Amino acid sequence: MKVPLIMTPGPTQVRENVRMARAIVTTNPDLDLQFYEFYKETCDEIGKFLKTKNEVRILSGEGILGLEAACASLTENGDRVLVIDNGIFGEGFADFVKMYGGEVVFFKGDRKRKIDVIELEKFLEKDHNFKYATIVHCDTPSGVLNDIEKICKMLKKKGILTVVDSVAGMGGEDIRVDEWAIDIALGASQKCVSAPAGLTFLSISDEAFRVMQQRKKPIASYYCNLLIWKDYYEKKWCPYTPPISDILGLRQAFDNLLIDKDILERHNSIGRATRKAVKEAGLNLYIEEGYSNTVTVIEIPVGINCKELLKNMVDEFNVFIAGSFGYLEGKVIRIGHMGENAKKDKMVYTLLALQTSLKSLGFECGRGMVEVFLDEL
């Protein structure tokens, strides 16, 4: 089978040393005390990456597990929860809140722009009686990036716990958990971290743990219960068998990230050059303001069929990019330049494949995307 170039906004390309780490002969993680040391060291390394002294946990499940676990662990019947929504995943938090008995209050933003912090501040002046608030760092379906630093600091001043989905942000965009007052920061293995899909990792503040422990009723889940992990190291006991091979791969992926001192600047330059190449070619970006450096979302030109374009990219160039879903299905395409995808050679080939595929389907670009991209780097 010919291996395609995966340029989607997650899962991303996986480096060989990460793949090889997952092939290492493993022990029994339930019984081997050395594994508990390894797990804790890996959590500490993730904490260093997130710039936090908070507890970190690695959960056995794709990134959505973390989002649900945060809501399951914090929410009790009747709790008012602020869901800050300017995208599909932002809105999606409401489903988890309702599932566990919470009362959702939305702050709706423009889906083509980052959350207006001034408008949010006005909203909070009138109503800030919320147990916690949810916000998405980078909403991957649209590519909008929110200013979580300003938002979380503002929420904490109002006494509101902060839950941040940075699954598609961390690694390509800066995140400073302690400095920015983030109570629960959620990440996953398959985006900028560039490990295989299947793991969630998250940091949990002391205050968030305290709120969970002071609940009136037990958390209505086992797998999504963050409290069952609280004293795993002291007890040398995990609530379920950890996926040791996946964690070995994740550790190597974070080793890669921590020695990449230019990672944020690389994502910034790749993102900026990609957006300019798209615009100079005569295509439209979906987002009008608040661009993420991890994914570029492009409106499909009139007369071009999304499925045909994506198929042409695969059939003729062996490149996977993505469409979107929900209200954006069939309207946009997405290029993921995050983690191992955020490399000049991979982006050059992807842009060449995109421009040639568009031409074969009847759309002629105004300028060569590769030329503009390279000039901008």
pLDDT digits 0-9 by tens, 231-245: 999 999 999 999 999
Using only the alpha carbons of the chain, give its radius of gyration.
21
* Chain mean pLDDT for the chain: 97
Is 5-9+262-376 assigned to CATH 2.60.120.260? no
Place of tokens 């609280």: 230
Q: What ranges do the domains of the chain cover?
A: 5-9+262-376, 16-259
Ranges under pLDDT 70 in the chain: 1
Q: Is 206 exposed, middle or buried (0-12, 13-18, 19+ CB in 10 A)?
A: exposed
pLDDT at 2: 79
Question: Taking Cα atoms as reference points, which of 68, 41, 36 lies closest to residue 238?
Answer: 36
The CATH architecture that domain 16-259 belongs to is: 3-Layer(aba) Sandwich (3.40)
Q: Extract the tokens encoding 86.
A: 């300017």
> Which amino acid is present at 52?
T
pLDDT at 1: 67
pLDDT at 3: 86
Say how far apart CA 93 and CA 100 lie, in whole Å.
Answer: 11
pLDDT at 250: 98
Q: Give residue 179's Cα distance to chain centre.
A: 20
pTM of the model: 0.97
Backbone angles phi, psi at 132, to 5 degrees: -155, 165
The residues near 244 (Cβ < 8 Å, ≥ 6 apart) are 26, 27, 29, 35
For the CA atoms of 175, 179, 182, 184, the dihedral, rounded to the nearest 10 degrees, stands at: 70
